Amino acid sequence: MQSFTFNLWLGVWLVLVAFLGVPALWKEYLFILTGLWLIVMALIKRRGYTPAGNGKEDTASASETSSVSENSEHTG
């Protein structure tokens, strides 16, 4: 879902830059920066980079905690 949202907003950005009267020089720089941003994001995603504190470890421990509490409620 996150990839879909990113691609959607990237498409909206490119359409806005292309058709809303942005001066040619600015348009060129914005397209280059957008392309570089897309390359960087693809490399980060391919390498599996996860920033510190993104909550992935916390999610696993939270789900374990909730399953333990659910089991204790059912057992008595």
Q: For residue 73, what pLDDT band results from cuts at 50, 70 and 90? A: low
* Joined tokens for residue 23: 């001066």
Give 35-69 pLDDT, tens digit per residue. 999 888 888 888 887 667 655 555 555 555 555 55
Locate tokens 């994001």: which residue? 41
pTM equals 0.55
Query: How many helices (H) and strands (E) would you count in the chain?
Result: 3, 0
Give the pLDDT confidence score for residue 32 in this predicted structure: 93
Give the pLDDT confidence score for residue 75 in this predicted structure: 58
Looking at every residue in the chain, the average pLDDT score rounds to 76
